Structure 1
Amino acid sequence: MVAPAQAQPQREALFDIPAQSLATALDSFARQAGVQILYPYRLAAPRHCAGVRGRMTARAALDRLLRNSGLAVARMSDRVVILRAAPARSTRPIPKPQARPKPAMPPEPLPPPEELVVTGRAAGTPLRDTALSYAVTPIDADTLARAGPRSTADLFRQIPGFWVESTGGEASNNVRSRGIPTDGYSSVALLEDGLPVQYDGGLGYLNTDQVFRADSTIDRVEAVRGGPSAVFMPNAPGGSVNFLTRSGLHRPGTTLSATLGSFGYQRIDGFAGAALAPHLGLSVGGFYRRDDGLRDPGYPADRGGQLRGAIEYDDGGVRLAFNVKHLDDRVILYLPVPLQAGADGAIRAIPGFDPLFDTLAGPQAVHVPMKTAAGTTDFDLSEGTHSRVTFYTFTARLALGQGLALESKARLRTGSTLRNGLFPIGRPMSGAAYLDGVRTQLVSAFPGTAATQIRYTGSSMPFLPDSNGNGLVVSANLLSVRMPMTEFVSDTRLTQRLDALGSHEAAVGLSYDHMRLGFDREMGSVLLDVRGRAQRLDVVALDGTGQLLGALTDNGFLRYGSLFDHVDLRASDVAIYGADEWKLSSRWRLDLGARWERTRIGGGVEGAVAVDLGDPATLADDAVLTGTGAITPIHRSFSGVSWTAGANFNPTPRSGMFARVSRIARLPSATEFNGNPNRADEAAVPIAMIEAGLLLRHRRWNLSAVAFRTHFTRLPFADYRFDPASYSYVERTSIADTTTRGLELDGHAELVGPVHLDVQATLQDPRYRNFRYVDLVDGAPVTFDVTGNHLIRVPKLAVRATPSLVLFGGDLRLASEIVHYSERFADIANTQRLPPFSLLNLHVDAQLSERLKLVVRITNLTNTLGLTEGNPRGGSFNADGRGSGYFFARPEFGRALRATIIVRP
């Protein structure tokens, strides 16, 4: 049965549709009305229609086009229009006894609902997903509410081809796409309403997700995997994820939700939008959240929120929108935890430390005096990653007539991010072994030393083998980075719709970005015992009578000023791009696009020198790094050309096939020059990508399959390893290639009765090519060839299966989510294996009434110990394996429950 047409809001728009084939006219109507239209092509193509010009409602324009066409509206909403064959009109013919009336021809079956996509395209009008020449994963508002992700990165777990490490907390996570071997958001662009949240998403210590939070002002998400992303957006060879905000004009209403969960989790979200006039809308929304942390550090781990206000004008011909968003939020950064491996290779918890729920961070790292050459500063770990950032966004679209339109988007960002973290280094070891390693140093510094001892800071209490349940100690860095940043980014494009050998939607655009970033980094190295909420330790030298002679440490610090940076960076980027969506026929489409981009990087890096603060009672202040006052300037410029070509074929209205080839130039990031302003190994990195896909839609199921190959050439790999002996970082770089072949699957099926199944899977083979590096073995340089090894931390197989029961007409959904990842490696030499693991999550989604919904989520129900990464501070080239001893890695979080009540008054 076909649903009746729904009443539409009487919002007027400017239409300019010439007399032509009805099929072509309907396509033009869809573009100008901003909707998707589905209709029986075989009935519309041979018919001709009169033109429609002038300002009117979408329904009035459509009625004029369909006059005497034999088609009628079956369903119409603000996003989708579905047409069918019009029922035959009743007549009163002269009866003929010998003739039987022919039954009326039934209407052509309606195609199943399809997703409308605007991201990754030259034109801004929606297009059904089966007509695309690239892969896209849409996530609607209901799915967002049901998923309830703990972080932005956690949401990306639903996207095939994406490998996500969301174990860092609500921010500072890693996202990789299709085996691209770069961390953070350096290969995936995070967008809001089609404009980058941060032009370079992979800035050092400043990932995009540190300044972005999803809340109830987000309407839906469109994730483009590969495809044309790198033509329309910067730093997006792996794809782009577009968060589209809710409009107070087009989607007015009120939404309020409250969430309670394990570990003191409390959050409230709200949105209110209203049409103040027929063409004017206003909205406001945001969130506030507080919790003790999935690994409780003994102080509030996350606290803060976000507020957005927006105003919008849209009369169909002119659209203007302006919104202001302010984020003031602190989130903890979870880092690797200590573990042990048995002789059988099995990973186990260390006695006294629960890797699922414990963290080394604790109250003893809050408000710690840290000595510097400029005086004592206050290190406060409870600040975590604290972003105070304001975004001002303006968008405009002007219809110029004859299919021509001008679109412009601009965003100004101001504010600062402070990032305080506790980074473990080296490996856990027994207190006795640690004293053996430093005894010579203490005897040399303090003659007369008869004994050495480890004590708890601030007391004479000795650290003993049973003090913390394991007798282990570990070194860690207390790191503080302050990054004030101002950025202006804009994108302006001219779009043209025309008919020539089919129909075209072409665009030419100019994007510009100017960024200024400060980077001030200080660090001190401390000694801790291994326990949840670790305690600081001091190492002292004693004479024969037990009197204190001196100390290796001071207030727990092994070395003050073990790292210092003062950098002022500027980057200006300009890009010119063009694209054409060429509809050759009702079944064939061809997409072409190219982008030229140039970046200019400037600024300066202050030199550093080690100074002795002069305290004879400790060695901790003997080599404190501080600035020299001498600035080394940075003057670099890079440019590159990217292009892409894709084709789409629709064998039937319910299926689509595509193929695409892309050649992308990835430009260096400004923060690559933070520590070395004179580095000469940076250059544009060529990336070659090939992909082909199939999308099938049925009334009860759909399936997407995409095969891809990605090849990086001359990519710099940095090994940034902390040396526990000198308490300093050692850096080296090697240039190599990578190749990844893979297959992405995404499907949904309504099986038997209320049983549904959703599956996302990625099978890939990511490998290093032409990769050699030099290491010292017994003091002699040895060349190691790791060509053919697996890319670090990327699994060959990632599967997410969600069987569910949909009951009471969809009012109740019970789902279990099974996630599996195959083995991975923490280093390029593939010496440190990260075992495969599986997670079980449970979801309950209940529509309690027309206005009230309950969502309950339980994650990691079985408390699985799954490792997502090793310890990058231990070396990314070769982590020296894991053996049967102690090591660091960052695991998935333990079992947690959250319940959300959503109210729509």
Structure 2
Amino acid sequence: MKRSIFLFTVAPFALLSPAMAHEPSTDADTQVESAATADAGAEARPGNTSQAEVFSTGVAKGRDRLDSATSTSSLRGADIQKIGARSVAEVLRNIPGIRVEASGGDVNNSFTIRGLPLASSGSKYLQLQEDGLPVLEYGDLFVGADVFLRPDFNLNAVETIRGGSASTFASNSPGGVINFMSKTGDVEGGAVQVSSGLDFDEKRLDFDYGSRISDTLRFHVGGFYRTGEGPRETGYTAYKGGQLKLNVTKEFDGGYIRLSGKYLDDRTPTYLSVPMSVSGTNADPNYKDIANFDVNSGSLLSPHVANIVTLDGNNNLARKDLRDGIHAIAKSVGLEAQFDVAGWTITEKFRYADLSGQMTQFQYGLTMPAAALATTFGGPGATLSYATGPNAGQAITDLASLNGNGLLSLAVLRDMELNSLDVMTNDIRATRQWNIGDGVLTTTVGFYKSTQAVDADWLFISGISDVRGDGQGALVDITRAGGIPMTQNGIVAYSGTPGSAAFRRKYDVEFDVTAPYGSLNYMIGKFAIGGSIRYDMGKAEGSLFGADLGGGRVGLMSYDINGDGVISLPERSTAFIPLDRPAPVNFDYEYLSYSAGINYRVAEPLAVFARYSRGGRGAADRVLFTPIVSATTGKLVDDRAGHDTVKQAEAGVKYRKNNLTLNLTGFWAKTQEINQQTVVRPDGSLVPQIIVRGYKAMGAEFEGSIRRGPFSLTAGATYTDAEIASDALNPGIEGNVPRHQPKLIFQATPQFENEMFTVGANFVGTTSSFAQDSNQLKMPGFTVVNAFLQFRPTERMQLSLNANNLFDVTGLTEVAQSTIPANGIVSVRAINGRTISTSLRFNF
């Protein structure tokens, strides 16, 4: 079926005659086919005396930002390289309005925008795109879209549209669209760069090259490869892999066709919650590192907690290696075309991405003094010994001084096999301008189609681990006073939770999205007025397998894991997937999105605008394995759970003149959401919780830049006043601020640049927020300083020095507990500490 779809899409363009129009001449202009909005805008006005800033993401044709009733931003690829951003999260934290929780490593981080809720992980209301099509159809699958996206020398620019009509020109993206746009070979030449960490282990090679093969044919190729331990101590090579991208563009007299391909095979670690000490009060807490664990540079990962044995998705014995981390494999092919027919500009985008891989993670759960944990699982008189590592078999006698902190943790060793997250996307649209009276009417009609596979196995087991962050952690065995082992090689249960088969799951579901859309825009004099509409029809079909669907001890059995002929206590709690008890998935949903805006060009350098929008986000994997979907029929128990709704209004002013740009926007949003979020029980264990809520948010967003000779400054800030407006399941938190939501986030980049060198700093900060929705325990605000220096001794050579988190600030993005616990230990996630790298680049 997938092959048929591909052939059906490609075939018409193989027959196109050479009588097609010429493609725009710059890499930025060639991306005018991106998705989000064609409302209330027009091309740069004739006779403009100031330089027009053409924004292409979200419009049918590239248009000047001062003529568009939208909030937009862009980052050039060269600027991203300059500040040393090595991940999607480090790029996005420099865009106003976007809140980034960047503590998971290079990938699988969380993002939201303008106070929209971030109840779980990923980016539910914010879509990440690559060259105008979504990386994943749903940004908050248990795998985030950034897992399959890497910024490198292929990147030409990142364009962002916030709020507005993002909901009408892209599905499942009412909050905004972030488009990572590739170079296309229009600018001839390339570069090669070697980089190395100075205070951490990472070696990296980047390269790219673009050129014309003939007057009408050009190409671009680029990629990277890296290896090393990374910014945190793991004790092994945690980063390994790279990416290769290629595109070829054929221009015609009236349009162009572009074929593109991408191969990504990259392994990165995941940094999950770690223990930290906290004292003081909930309103004024004092967070400190525990002994032998620096939250800035430490991790749970270790070569001594690597090989685990469990049952796979087909209940066969298998060995898993936690050192694989997040292993992402992406193989994609794309087609892009634009041509004119009878006065209409037709734009076609197609991509098929074969996405797979593995996610192995190690997460602390219940952390407590070693003696107390030994008693909890082994009773009075229980003894401890090392199960793995160089001290395997050695008794632990001085429990109070173990690793200097005296702590042990009940940890979850998680393995998620990503058998297939394949996604097919196709977006075709037609745009035409009509001269009506003294103005110009722009009409756009389009049709979007996508399929998203979710074929994955969740395989969790539980172990006992010591608590140290130097990459040398080990599993620990517990033995009862009578000599009965309670663990086996440090494993307390071959299930995610002792005595329960929860989270032993198999997903085999395909999501289908169909969405026609259209817009009308009329520009007359200084006014541009427009509106757009989209109708999304979603469908989910497939099967689920798992103990979560059956309750009780379904999915637990005795199994001789080590094959010694004896069933140990941990082997009595072996979780398996009940493959003979499938639960169907068979639901659909429909919703209407619309947006309308008006823009008034007060004067050449000044414009004001206003917009109101309503958008939606379709149900995906977060509703599976919950009572929201019937385990017997596969239907939604309540049709309202098929999609969430976001209503937004914004109004702003834009100014641009003589190297000075200022944008100020006020916004308001109302969201209705059904979701899952993770909360902590009193015993320290983490559990999912269904939420049925309404949210409100309002605030203001500033973005500006100024250049005076060699000096320049770009800056942004977003003030947000958000609250939980309603909660059907927990009315007691109504009126509270959503967890992790600060009042203010900000970024600024001052720099000095001349022909020989560039020096500057990138400031990114946030004010305090609440750890949980109960609004008790606070997380402190922080400001991160990233410094950069570039030296160009000759025209084609550049030496660079980058320092991320120069002052080694501790920045907490998550605290699992809602209040300070009695033992003063909380589970936190923190940003990376200071990392300094250097690079040598040659341009050719």
Residue of structure 1 equivalent to 2:396? 462
Taking only the aligned residue pairs, the percentage that are identical comes to 24
Instruction: Indicate which of 556, 563, 570 corresponds to 1:610.
Output: 556
Distance 2:644 2:74 in 1: 30
Residue of structure 2 equivalent to 1:538? 477
Moved more, 670-679 or 348-357: 670-679
**Secondary structure in 1 matching 2:92:** helix
Shift of 1:32: 8.4
CA contact (8 A) 1:341 1:884 kept: no
Distance 1:803 1:33 in 2: 33
Instruction: Indicate which of 69, 89, 93 corresponds to 1:157.
Output: 93
Residue of structure 1 equivalent to 2:489? 555
Change over 3 Å in CA distance of 1:881–1:725 after alignment to 2: closer
Residue of structure 2 equivalent to 1:791? 738
Kindly indicate whether structure 1 or structure 2 has the higher relative contact order, using CA contacts under 8 Å at least 6 residues apart: 2
Shift of 1:383: 0.7
Partner deviation per Cα, 1:561-603 (whole Å, 9 max, x = no partner): 2231012101111000001232122x21112110000111010
Distance 1:465 1:754 in 2: 59
Shift of 1:674: 4.4
Residue of structure 1 equivalent to 2:374? 435
Change over 3 Å in CA distance of 1:263–1:417 after alignment to 2: same
Residue of structure 1 equivalent to 2:245? 308
Change over 3 Å in CA distance of 1:15–1:560 after alignment to 2: closer
| Structure 2 segments unaligned to the other structure (5+ residues) | 1-17, 29-42, 497-502, 548-554, 631-635
Distance 1:265 1:214 in 2: 16
Residue of structure 1 equivalent to 2:140? 202
Residue of structure 1 equivalent to 2:843? 904
Residue of structure 1 equivalent to 2:278? 341
Aligned counterparts, 1:598-637, within 5 A:
598-608=537-547, 609-613=555-559, 618-628=568-578, 629-637=580-588
Partner deviation per Cα, 1:863-887 (whole Å, 9 max, x = no partner): 111101123xx6xxxx344567011
Shift of 1:276: 1.3
Distance 1:381 1:852 in 2: 40
Residue of structure 2 equivalent to 1:850? 795
Aligned counterparts, 1:226-237, within 5 A:
226-237=163-174
CA contact (8 A) 1:567 1:605 kept: yes
State how many pairs are aligned: 771
Distance 2:128 2:599 in 1: 26
Instruction: Indicate which of 683, 689, 701 corresponds to 1:732.
Output: 689
Change over 3 Å in CA distance of 1:881–1:770 after alignment to 2: farther
Distance 2:450 2:125 in 1: 18
Aligned counterparts, 1:553-702, within 5 A:
553-562=487-496, 563-585=503-525, 587-608=526-547, 609-613=555-559, 618-628=568-578, 629-674=580-625, 677-678=629-630, 680=637, 682-702=641-661
Aligned counterparts, 1:76-115, within 5 A:
111-115=49-53
Partner deviation per Cα, 1:242-290 (whole Å, 9 max, x = no partner): 1121112x22222222222231221111112221111111222111111
Q: Which amino acid aligns with 2:413?
A: L
Distance 1:551 1:239 in 2: 54
Shift of 1:36: 13
CA contact (8 A) 1:36 1:81 kept: no
Instruction: Indicate which of 441, 444, 448 corresponds to 1:511.
Output: 448
Distance 2:478 2:692 in 1: 41
Distance 1:113 1:146 in 2: 24
**Secondary structure in 2 matching 1:770:** strand
Instruction: Indicate which of 154, 162, 179 corresponds to 1:217.
Output: 154
Residue of structure 2 equivalent to 1:708? 667
Shift of 1:295: 0.8
Residue of structure 1 equivalent to 2:428? 492
CA contact (8 A) 1:191 1:241 kept: yes
Instruction: Indicate which of 742, 745, 752 corresponds to 1:805.
Output: 752
Shift of 1:739: 0.4
What TM-score comes out, normalization by structure 2 length? 0.87
Partner deviation per Cα, 1:763-782 (whole Å, 9 max, x = no partner): 111110112545xxxxxxxx
Q: Which amino acid aligns with 2:664?
A: A
Residue of structure 2 equivalent to 1:95? none
Shift of 1:410: 0.6
Residue of structure 2 equivalent to 1:764? 720
Q: Which amino acid aligns with 1:462?
A: I
**Secondary structure in 2 matching 1:364:** coil
Distance 2:757 2:51 in 1: 21
CA contact (8 A) 1:280 1:314 kept: yes
CA contact (8 A) 2:558 2:567 kept: no
Q: Which amino acid aligns with 2:383?
A: Q
Distance 1:552 1:647 in 2: 69
Moved more, 620-629 or 328-337: 620-629
Distance 1:81 1:709 in 2: 29
Distance 1:708 1:835 in 2: 25
Shift of 1:719: 4.0
Change over 3 Å in CA distance of 1:34–1:813 after alignment to 2: closer
Counterpart check, 1:819 vs 2:759: no
Distance 1:577 1:384 in 2: 40
Change over 3 Å in CA distance of 1:244–1:439 after alignment to 2: closer
Distance 1:622 1:485 in 2: 33
Counterpart check, 1:529 vs 2:466: yes
CA contact (8 A) 1:838 1:864 kept: yes
Distance 1:756 1:725 in 2: 52
Larger Rg: 1
Partner deviation per Cα, 1:109-154 (whole Å, 9 max, x = no partner): x744342111111x2x321111111111111132122122121121
Distance 1:539 1:360 in 2: 20
CA RMSD, Structure 1 to Structure 2 (Å): 2.5
Change over 3 Å in CA distance of 1:883–1:656 after alignment to 2: farther
Instruction: Indicate which of 389, 395, 398 corresponds to 2:336.
Output: 395
**Secondary structure in 1 matching 2:403:** coil
Partner deviation per Cα, 1:160-182 (whole Å, 9 max, x = no partner): 11000122111100011011113
Instruction: Indicate which of 407, 419, 426 corresponds to 2:359.
Output: 419
**Secondary structure in 2 matching 1:465:** helix
Distance 2:766 2:372 in 1: 36
Distance 1:811 1:640 in 2: 55
Shift of 1:526: 0.9
CA contact (8 A) 1:859 1:895 kept: yes
Partner deviation per Cα, 1:616-670 (whole Å, 9 max, x = no partner): 6742222222122211111100110000011111111112211110011222114
CA contact (8 A) 1:603 1:633 kept: yes
Q: Which amino acid aligns with 2:742?
A: P
Residue of structure 2 equivalent to 1:51? none
What TM-score comes out, normalization by structure 1 length? 0.81
Change over 3 Å in CA distance of 1:221–1:326 after alignment to 2: same
Partner deviation per Cα, 1:359-403 (whole Å, 9 max, x = no partner): 11111222233367945321211111101110110011121143x
Distance 2:254 2:529 in 1: 28
Distance 1:175 1:238 in 2: 11
| Structure 1 segments unaligned to the other structure (5+ residues) | 1-12, 17-30, 38-79, 85-109, 441-449, 775-783
Residue of structure 2 equivalent to 1:103? none
Residue of structure 2 equivalent to 1:58? none
Change over 3 Å in CA distance of 1:644–1:551 after alignment to 2: same
Shift of 1:435: 2.7
Change over 3 Å in CA distance of 1:536–1:884 after alignment to 2: closer
Change over 3 Å in CA distance of 1:616–1:831 after alignment to 2: farther
CA contact (8 A) 1:863 1:894 kept: yes
